[in-house]
Amino acid sequence: MSTNTSYTEDNIRSLDWKEHIRMRPGMYIGKLGDGTSADDGIYILLKEVIDNCIDEFVMGAGKTIEIGVKDTQVTVRDYGRGIPLGKVVDVVSKMNTGGKYDSRAFKKSVGLNGVGTKAVNALSEYFLVESSRDNLLKSATFEKGNLISEEGPEESSRRKGTKVTFVPDPTIFKNYKFRSEYIVKMIKNYVYLNPGLTIVFNGEKYISENGLKDLIEDNNQIEDMLYPIIHLKGEDIEIAITHSKTQYSEEYHSFVNGQHTTQGGTHQAAFREAIAKTVKEYYGKNYDSADIRKSIISAISIKVMEPVFESQTKTKLGSTDMGGGMPTVRSYINDFLKTELDNYLHKNPETAELLQRKILQAERERKELSGIRKLARDRAKKASLHNKKLRDCRVHLTDIKNDNSIKSTLFITEGDSASGSITKSRNVNTQAVFSLRGKPLNSYGMSKKIVYENEEFNLLQAALDIEDSMENLRYNKIVIATDADVDGMHIRLLLITFFLQFFPELIKENHLYILQTPLFRVRNKKETIYCYSDEERRNAISKLGNKPEITRFKGLGEISPDEFKHFIGEEIRLEPVMLDKSMTIEQLLEFYMGKNTPDRQKFIIENLKVELDIEEEIVSKTA
């Protein structure tokens, strides 16, 4: 077989460090995104810079970190030792250059590969690094990884430390916007894990006195905790545990060397196993492990020598050893809990009694549901075989557990036309579609039994693989995609109620979103503009002039598959569903789904968006 394609030395090309990062950013920061998700690239850039400041704090240099975010510009300042002045340029622009290869200096560091700030530099349209030490200041300015200028060293009275300022490149991170909620959550995790550290973000100060105990308290309502938080600390380990009175599934917050391992790993698996084993031995009963862990809310942080992660973004620990001649991660965690948790339960019999009652209650509920659960699983398997509800994506059809779940999305939609449009438009590799039949049931106030008895809920639970724990969650993003009308809003509310009632940690951990689709299409013969708000519509009309054609999209089914590709592709707009910390989950559900009709009616009236004037204006513009 002949070919006209030549293959010579001219086809072989070497990319320099910045070209490779810019061409393959996913290898370095996981994914891009626009800032609507907590793991989008712009937050990874921020995290990489902060990690260096944290390592300085851990080494005893600098107790305060200052972070400023204004529009697209980010500034991070520490008061550590400062980068050695002769290496300021190299540290941020030469791969495999850094101080963390010397394990004596950074024994339990997060970033060991010397890539972090280089990736930030290469992926920023503007990057400035300033280092002050020994009464001298050295600075260097870059654009997209290219050195533009460097100044110093020159005499300076500035306090020692490092300051980095950067603006993510908008040609790589399209239409991005920083969300303070995600940054605050990241900052809180840093202070929980580093007692004595102060982080100032846009003028507001964050500090934690009680570590992981504060994390559990800040993320949950005290009234929902079955017993006071069990807080245990060792040299390289810290644990916080309680059980929820109302939550059904297990909730874990796990960290390694200060890195939030959102996908768990060997330490989280060992923790789950060790809790069950220790509790069984304490009570001298062979309780089912699932009954012991049901409704648990917990956090674990360990420190490991030169940890091995399963991805560049360090969201899952792969290491089996603690390093430095210490035992395995599994045996270390098990031995710690066997001693410390057992001692705690002996010293606090009230907590031990409450925990045992919870286990027995979980056991009764499991036995009552056992028959229903088996039937429900069988139904889910049959539905999966016939592909009635779920059109899965290819990364899951292989049934191979891998890191692809972090890139996958499940769209939940209603009606044949809407699900058809999304199914035809989606990226079949990473986007799946779950089709509802009509409006879902209002699950407020119902027990977990309804999840198995109701076909829609049962199949949705099976599709997500979240029956007992979030650990096996199959999709990183769960997106509610409904029409922008009264019925669509009601379906959204019913689905959010379902997740709040039975799987609130999905919302707590920022996995649930609302798909934003355009309300209007404004076009003339030369240009088409899609508008997501009335303000955007007015701007589009002003831009195009001469009475453009205006279409008001009432439902997803009205948008053709060719158009839909734009709205669920690279320029997808998602609105994260977030909890209002001022209200408990029970209060939220009671307000929106309970019987307080007058209060809810008043709220709706005060927040109602009347569209009659919009419709009239469209008619007049197109007349």
Q: Any idea which of 156-165, 189-198, 290-299, 387-396 has the lowest mean pLDDT?
A: 387-396
The per-residue pLDDT for 618 is 46
The per-residue pLDDT for 112 is 42
Which of 23-37, 265-279, 601-615 is predicted most confidently?
265-279
Q: What is the mean pLDDT of residues 398-416?
A: 67
For 149-164, b/e burial (b = at least 16 CB within 10 A) is: eeebbeebeeebbbbb
Handedness of CA 395, 396, 398, 402 (dihedral sign): positive
Domain boundaries, the chain: 17-206, 212-360, 387-517+553-579
Which of 280-294, 423-437, 448-462 is predicted most confidently?
280-294
Does the pLDDT at position 385 exceed 80?
A: no
Q: How confident is the model at residue 108 (pLDDT cuts 50, 70, 90)?
A: low
Q: How confident is the model at residue 519 (pLDDT cuts 50, 70, 90)?
A: confident
Q: What is the mean pLDDT of residues 378-407?
A: 64
The per-residue pLDDT for 397 is 54
Q: Do domains 17-206 and 387-517+553-579 have the same CATH topology?
A: no
Q: What is the mean pLDDT of residues 270-290?
A: 94
Q: For the chain, give the mean pLDDT.
A: 82
Q: Any idea which of 87-96, 509-518, 553-562, 592-601 has the lowest mean pLDDT?
A: 592-601
Q: What is the mean pLDDT of residues 392-397?
A: 74
Say how far apart CA 577 and CA 480 lie, in whole Å. 10
Q: Which CATH architecture has domain 17-206?
A: 2-Layer Sandwich (3.30)
The token pair that represents 78 in the structure block: 């520490």
Position with higher pLDDT, 384 vs 249: 249
Q: Any idea which of 48-57, 240-249, 389-398 has the lowest mean pLDDT?
A: 389-398
3-state secondary structure 515-543: EECCCEEEECCCCEEEECCHHHHHHHHHH
The CATH number of the structural domain formed by 212-360 is: 3.30.230.10
The per-residue pLDDT for 525 is 85
Best CA proximity match to 403, nearest among 311, 276, 297? 311
CA–CA–CA angle 17, 20, 25 (5° rounding): 120
Q: Any idea which of 50-64, 90-104, 351-365, 532-546 has the lowest mean pLDDT?
A: 90-104
The per-residue pLDDT for 233 is 94
Does the pLDDT at position 300 exceed 90?
A: yes
Task: Look up tokens 């989280």; give the residue.
Answer: 268
- CA–chain centroid gap for 189, Å, is 13
Q: Any idea which of 8-12, 193-197, 371-375 has the lowest mean pLDDT?
A: 8-12
Q: Any idea which of 43-47, 249-253, 567-571 has the lowest mean pLDDT?
A: 567-571
Which of 217-221, 321-325, 386-390, 399-403 is predicted most confidently?
217-221
- What is the bridge-based pairing of β-strands 477-481 and 512-516? parallel
Q: For the chain, what is the radius of gyration of the CA atoms?
A: 27
Q: What is the pLDDT of residues 456-486, one digit of tens each?
A: 888 888 888 887 777 778 888 999 998 877 7
Position with higher pLDDT, 20 vs 364: 364
Does the pLDDT at position 562 exceed 90?
A: no
Q: How confident is the model at residue 368 (pLDDT cuts 50, 70, 90)?
A: confident
The per-residue pLDDT for 306 is 75
Q: What is the mean pLDDT of residues 306-320?
A: 72
Say how far apart CA 512 and CA 76 lie, in whole Å. 30
- What is the bridge-based pairing of β-strands 198-201 and 230-233? unpaired
Task: Look up tokens 């098990």; give the residue.
Answer: 334
Strands (E), 403-548: 409-414, 431-436, 477-481, 512-516, 520-523, 528-531
Does the pLDDT at position 325 exceed 70?
A: no
Measured N-to-C along each axis, helices 349-386 and 455-464 cross at an angle, to the nearest 10 degrees, of 100
How much of the chain exceeds pLDDT 70, in percent? 83
Cα-based distances in Å from 341 to 231, 264, 351, 356, 558: 9, 21, 11, 14, 58
Query: Is 305 strand, coil or helix?
Result: coil
Task: Look up tokens 């929902």; give the residue.
Answer: 224
The per-residue pLDDT for 566 is 82
How much of the chain exceeds pLDDT 90, in percent? 33
The per-residue pLDDT for 238 is 95
Question: What's the predicted TM-score (pTM) here?
Answer: 0.81
Handedness of CA 400, 404, 405, 410 (dihedral sign): negative
Best CA proximity match to 133, nearest among 89, 85, 87? 85
Task: Name which CATH class applies to 387-517+553-579.
Answer: alpha beta
Does the pLDDT at position 497 exceed 60?
A: yes
Q: How confident is the model at residue 605 (pLDDT cuts 50, 70, 90)?
A: low
The per-residue pLDDT for 297 is 93
